[in-house]
Amino acid sequence: MMTPRPVIGGNWKMHHGPADTRRFFQQFTGLWKGRPPGTIVFFPPAVSLSVARECLHGRPDLRLGVQNIHWEERGAFTGEISAAMAREAGAEFALVGHSERRHIFGERDEQAARKVVAALRAGLIPLLCVGETLEERRAGRVDDVILRQLDAVLDSLPPDAGLLLAYEPVWAIGTGENATPGDAAAAHAALRRRLSARWGASRAQDVAILYGGSVKPDNARDLLAAPEVDGLLVGGASLDPTAFAAIAATEFA
């Protein structure tokens, strides 16, 4: 099933515990009256999911995801949570392979692939993040890197798997330096071509590809207007209800 577009995600990272989550949604639900048929999904810290679900009761237009999962269903994995647990706490989506997971916590392609499979098994929609470092961009290796990250996951998926993608260049995350709409369009087109080669053109079109990296209210419009950009994944600016509502209200053609 296709996730309605544009898909606007708010990745809160390690911000907003339960009390701040309650405050955020009190403000945000007052500001945001909904704009069908897009999808808005928040990724709070796992400990805030239950509170978020409670706050969003009666607001099916505002959905929830988890920032990270383990690939096993249960077991002796201190500090980890499973996809099924996240789903029970209110998540419908799961971020997988965010660059902070890859670069700070050493997560590899193979683990991202296992997490995508685990998310699907538990009924969560995986949002796989891919992106190159500045060094890799300077070396002309953007496509090599993002297609390798994508292939690693596609290899272990059935072709009918519901999947979302986010292109998040590592150098643009949290730096205030967003990719140009042209850079984003080029990377998104490469991802779409690969999906198309693997799954066929029509199935490839069903996969929403989001751009992420220093999205703000003042650049959201141009980024969302770029070809092949089906949504935005917002970090820093998603912590503020007013800024995130402005981004979520961006026109999408």
Active site residues: 98, 168
Phi and psi at residue 232, to the nearest 5° = -135, 140
DSSP run (H or E) holding 130: strand 125-130
Which amino acid is located at 186 in the chain? A
- Residues in 11-30 at the binding interface with ligand PGA, rule: CB under 6 A: 11
Q: Look at residues 176, 36, 188, 166 and name the one whose alpha carbon lies nearest to residue 99.
A: 166
Helix (H, G, I), strand (E, B) or coil at 109: helix
> Between the CA of residue 237 and those of 70, 119, 170, what are the distances in Å?
27, 26, 17
**Residue from 51, 89, 150, 234 in contact with ligand PGA (CB under 6 A):** 234
**Residue from 236, 247, 248, 252 in contact with ligand PGA (CB under 6 A):** 236
**Residue from 83, 152, 161, 233 in contact with ligand PGA (CB under 6 A):** 233
**Residue from 65, 97, 126, 212 in contact with ligand PGA (CB under 6 A):** 212
What's the helix, strand, coil split of the chain in %, to 5? 45, 15, 40
Only one of the segments 18-26, 154-162, 197-205, 235-243 lies at the binding site for ligand PGA (rule: CB under 6 A); that segment is 235-243
Only one of the segments 107-115, 133-141, 212-220, 245-253 lies at the binding site for ligand PGA (rule: CB under 6 A); that segment is 212-220
**Residue from 38, 213, 217, 231 in contact with ligand PGA (CB under 6 A):** 213
Is the C-alpha dihedral spanning 83, 5, 183, 154 positive or negative?
A: positive
**For residues 44 and 199, which CB has a smaller minimum distance to ligand PGA in the complex?**
44
DSSP run (H or E) holding 217: none
Q: How far is the CB of 160 from ligand PGA (least distance, A)?
A: 27
Residue 8 touching ligand PGA (CB under 6 A):
no
DSSP run (H or E) holding 94: strand 93-96
Only one of the segments 55-63, 117-125, 134-142, 232-240 lies at the binding site for ligand PGA (rule: CB under 6 A); that segment is 232-240
Binding site for ligand PGA (CB under 6 A): 11, 168, 173-174, 212-215, 233-237
